[in-house]
Amino acid sequence: MATMKFMCDAERCIECNGCVTACKNANEVEWGIQRRRVVTLNDGEPSEVSISVACMHCDDAPCIAVCPTETLFQRDDGIVLHDKDLCIGCGYCLYACPFGAPQFPKENAFGERGKMDKCTFCAGGPAETAEEEYQKYGANRIAEGKLPLCAEMCSTKALLAGDAQEVADIFRQRVVQRGHEDGGWSGNPRADADSLAYDATQQG
Amino acid sequence: MRTTTPWWALWRLPLLMLALVVSLGFAQFALAQADPEREAATAVPAVDADIWRQIESGETGPNYRSSRFGSDYNLINTVGETWRQLRERWVSPFGVIAVVGMIVLIALFYLLVGRKKLDEPRTGRKLLRWPLMVRSLHWTVATLFILLALTGLNLAYGKAVFRPVFGDGFWAAMMSGTKLIHNYLGPLFGILLVIMLLRLLADNIPRKHDLAWFAKGGGLVGKGVHPDAGFANGGEKLWYWLLATAGIAVIVSGLVMDFPNFGQARDTMIWANIIHAVGAFGLTAVALGHIYIGTLGTEGSFEGMASGYVDETWAKEHHNLWYEEVKDQAVSEEQLEANRTSSQGDEPAPRSG
């Protein structure tokens, strides 16, 4: 069985937020919730780098470990889903998540959390009918044989989604093309000079 | 210009090989030395080790942007994993050990030592120990404490116990109710506990004779062992000050998590959760001891908190210093009954301590 993963190629991400918009649209995500975000480090500096983040569907997911109601669970293909009927809005998944993925609608007084919402890898969630599933969790594109819309719509193909092996193969090939000598995250200055985020003003 | 090598020059070949082998060892070192300054000046550092260090430190900095509205979450929440490990490896096991261990200890103590009975027969004359106000506060706080402890334990361990037993439908409703009770009654408990602590403060100032009380183990074991005690004995004062410290810490950390609308950071709530859990498990364990001593453990104690009055003998044995102060205020049971019927629940007798 395939293991589904996201991978964002930070050297390609141009911070267009197309993935954020695509996700919001595909899943009709509720007001105030944004399942995907784009983080930019060193904005405006030569070393600026952006990366798109949502639920990373961890193998040993901290959210599943700490949830007191077993709202969160992992499918056989590695996708981490949540059952909104069980969620009590305690926020533990948010405490534990490395990526800030779980979010809560602030429906009641004093910021009391509603039912948690997070990226489903466009795989819906547990529900009786397809309508209920769409209303609670958004699209189930995986069931239709499609990949998450954020990755499908990524203009620079920075965001990759799919079987971990294939994603890794694509990325590995990119690394080879770019000529990084020590791998994708190398600190090799010569490789960085060839990076897409290259800064003409700095050329000596 | 081209030269030919004479055959006798071949003796140099092994030397050349040796030099090659030795220099290979330094090759990497030599590469790293290749004009790094010039490369650093011309190259744009992309995602390098420094960036990863920056991400791992959780630092956001002035040029950090997250496109999510109203969110200042850093890229990787490093504290989250620390919290998970602390919770799963230390806090959760500690809670089980503390609560279950205390139940086992109490059961063993009861079986081995048994109930602390009054040494002398009752005189039948009563002293007012807990006025109506204190009793109301005590039982309200006690009820809330038990509800909060049960719901808290359910939040911590319920998934291992009740989901397989009841099935999803009931489990979902049970957990929603649990969280509502815990989150809504928590602040009420906090307010009432503070009022009760203030009301009982004067009785719980530590005194020198409390040390002697602890040295004698509170007279818990052995017939006729009754160390000096005022209105509150050393054990009661310890429980008081545990509630005044750990109890307040549990309340404050609970409020930090209960009202996430004041902009407190995720990290703050994470540490609040650890303090809350450790403090609450500890207090629950000690509360079990308090409940045991107040009911099964000591003859004559429970009636004090139930009716407000204690027997003279009980007062003399357990709170001798207090008894000396108030012994002239003792009333007979008949008198008490008459007072009750004439003025419903009105208790004029003064209390000192």
The answer to whether B46 contacts A197, with C-beta atoms less than 8 Å apart, is yes
Residues B48 and B75: their CA atoms lie apart, in Å, by 15
B78 burial (CB, 10 Å; 0-12 / 13-18 / 19+) is middle
Residues of A in contact with B183 (CB under 8 A): 112
Average pLDDT over residues B297-316: 94
Tell me: pLDDT of B278 over 70: yes
The tokens 């620390």 sit on which residue? Answer: B82
Which residues, numbered 54 to 73 in chain B, qualify as contacts with chain A under a Cβ-Cβ cut-off of 8 Å?
Answer: 54-55, 61, 63-69, 71, 73
Tell me: pLDDT of B302 over 80: yes
Average pLDDT over residues B153-182: 93
Tell me: pLDDT of A183 over 80: no
Amino acid B81 reads E
pLDDT on residue B150: 97
**B216-244: per-residue pLDDT in tens?**
988 888 777 889 999 999 999 999 999 99
The answer to whether B45 contacts A192, with C-beta atoms less than 8 Å apart, is yes
- Annotated domain spans of chain B: 83-113+127-342
Amino acid A31 reads W
**B240-276: per-residue pLDDT in tens?**
999 999 999 999 999 999 999 898 999 999 999 999 9
CATH for B83-113+127-342, options being 3.40.50.150, 1.20.950.20, 3.10.450.50, 3.40.50.2300: 1.20.950.20
B135: how many CB neighbours lie within 10 A of its CB?
16
The answer to whether A91 contacts B47, with C-beta atoms less than 8 Å apart, is no
The answer to whether A62 contacts B81, with C-beta atoms less than 8 Å apart, is yes
Min Cα distance A15 → chain B (Å) is 9
Tell me: pLDDT of B25 over 60: no
Task: Output A31 or B58, whichever has higher pLDDT.
Answer: A31
DSSP B332: E
Residues A118 and A37: their CA atoms lie apart, in Å, by 11
Min Cα distance A20 → chain B (Å) is 9
Q: Is B37 on the interface with A (CB under 8 A)?
A: no
Residues A79 and B103: their CA atoms lie apart, in Å, by 42
Reported CATH class of domain A4-202:
alpha beta
Per the document, the length of chain B is 353
Q: Is B171 on the interface with A (CB under 8 A)?
A: yes
Residues B13 and B3: their CA atoms lie apart, in Å, by 17
pTM of the model: 0.84
State residue A76 phi and psi, 5-degree precision: -65, -25
Average pLDDT over residues B303-331: 94
B343: how many CB neighbours lie within 10 A of its CB?
10
Instruction: Assign A188 a pLDDT band (cuts: 50, 70, 90).
Output: very low
Amino acid A188 reads N
Task: Output B234 or B168, whichever has higher pLDDT.
Answer: B234
Q: Which segments of chain B does DSSP mark as H helices, in order? A: 12-32, 36-42, 49-56, 78-85, 92-112, 132-166, 168-200, 208-215, 234-242, 248-258, 266-292, 302-307, 312-318, 320-326, 333-342
The tokens 């012994």 sit on which residue? Answer: B327
Are B232 and B240 contacting, i.e. CB atoms less than 8 angstroms apart?
yes
Identify which of A20, A43, A111 has the shortest CB distance to residue B65. A43
Residues B68 and B41: their CA atoms lie apart, in Å, by 34
Instruction: Assign B13 a pLDDT band (cuts: 50, 70, 90).
Output: low
Relative to beta strand A37-41, strand B65-66 is antiparallel
Residues of B in contact with A108 (CB under 8 A): none
E strand or H helix that includes residue B125: strand B125-128
The DSSP string of chain A is ---EEEEE-TTT-----HHHHHHHHHHTPPTT--S-EEEEESTTSTT-EEEEES----TT-HHHHH-TT--EEE-TTS-EEE-TTT-----HHHHH-TT---B--B-SGGG-B-S-B---TTB--S-SSHHHHHHHH--BTTTTT---HHHHH-TTS-EEEEEHHHHHHHHHHHHHHHT-SS-TT---HHHHHTSTT--GGG--
Give the tokens for residue B88.
């799963």
Instruction: Assign B35 a pLDDT band (cuts: 50, 70, 90).
Output: low
Average pLDDT over residues B158-170: 90
- Provide CB contacts within 8 A for B196, sequence distance 6+: B134, B137, B138, B141
Average pLDDT over residues A107-117: 87
Least confident of A7-11, A163-167, B39-43, B173-177: B39-43
> Quick one: which of B51, B95, B96 has its CA closest to B76?
B51
Interface confidence (ipTM) of the complex: 0.85
| DSSP three-state, residue B331 | strand
Residues B264 and B256: their CA atoms lie apart, in Å, by 8
- Annotated domain spans of chain A: 4-202
Tell me: pLDDT of B153 over 50: yes
**A26-69: per-residue pLDDT in tens?**
999 988 899 999 999 888 887 788 999 999 999 999 999 999 99
Are A45 and A86 contacting, i.e. CB atoms less than 8 angstroms apart?
no
Residues A21 and A136: their CA atoms lie apart, in Å, by 18
Are B131 and B161 contacting, i.e. CB atoms less than 8 angstroms apart?
no
Identify which of B175, B262, B266 has the shortest CB distance to residue A86. B175
